[in-house]
Amino acid sequence: MSFEAFLEQWRKNPSTTLQIALLMRIAAALRESTDCIGAVVVGSFAKHSADRLSDVDLVAFCSKGAGQSVFRAVTQQIEQAKILFTVDGTHGPDSPFRKLVLADMTSIEFHVIGPETKLELERPYVEIVNRGQVLEARASQRRASTDRDTTVFRYGDRGLAWELFNCLKWLWRGEYDAARRYLIKLGKAIEASQVKDG
């Protein structure tokens, strides 16, 4: 599916207006950036299952040494919004990522992947940028898992707000068992980290 067809589909869904507006700004910036050699939408939007609280999941591939440039191109499109909290990290050399929740309860998770960082692009995804067939070179035949990520407290205290926000989304959707299971695991992981830290 082309990005234009993807946008047309989601524009018809009034519950995702805020996410699509954010995504359109970011996509325009990535298309303008010569340092961005590939970019895709993944997650629930690519799977056609997004709702009002679904986060925008993006993966952007950069040319050598351009990770921070592509990262800035994305963050500049978000800076105008009021941000509630942020989790930053890295996958490796020149491969930063950021997870944010905005005051309007829109959330975004974006990953910039440098040439030296291994990452297989699982399907489905929606192409935003594809220079030099970089997406085909990264594409896997595997489909993205539908199972929830069971790794809890991965980013320690700095990621706690993101994890609790995910639980709030499950509760809003009526997925009480998923939220309870995750909160139990999270509580145990927090206790274990306190024992370990002494």
CB 16 within 8 A of CB 52: yes
**192 part of a folded domain:** yes
Is position 151 within any domain? no
DSSP the chain: --HHHHHHHHHT-GGGHHHHHHHHHHHHHHHH-TTEEEEEEEHHHHTT---TTPPEEEEEEE-TT-HHHHHHHHHHHHTTSPEEEEEEEESSTT-EEEEEEETTS-EEEEEEE-TTS---EEEP-EEEEESTTHHHHHEEEEEPP-SPP---STTGGGGHHHHHHHHHHHHHTT-HHHHHHHHHHHHHHHHHHHHHH-
Is residue 131 domain-shared with residue 160, that is, in the same domain?
Answer: no
What values do phi and psi take at 193, rounded to 5?
A: -70, -30
Residue ranges making up the domain that contains 165: 156-197
The whole-model pTM stands at 0.94
The structural domain count of the chain equals 2
Q: Are residues 170 and 128 in the same domain?
A: no
Residue 58 lies in a domain: yes
The verdict on residue 150 lying in a domain is no
| Closest to 94 (Cα-Cα) out of 119, 62, 120 | 62
Q: Do 117 and 43 share a structural domain?
A: yes
Residue 182, number of CB atoms within 10 A of its CB: 20
What pLDDT is stored for residue 177 in this prediction?
96
pLDDT tens digits for the chain (198 residues)?
Answer: 899 999 999 988 999 999 999 999 999 999 999 999 999 999 999 999 999 999 999 999 999 999 999 999 999 999 889 999 999 999 998 999 999 999 999 999 999 999 999 999 999 999 999 999 999 999 998 888 765 656 899 999 999 999 999 999 999 999 999 999 999 999 999 999 988 776
Predicted confidence at residue 149, as pLDDT, reads 58
Q: What is the pLDDT of residue 151?
A: 84
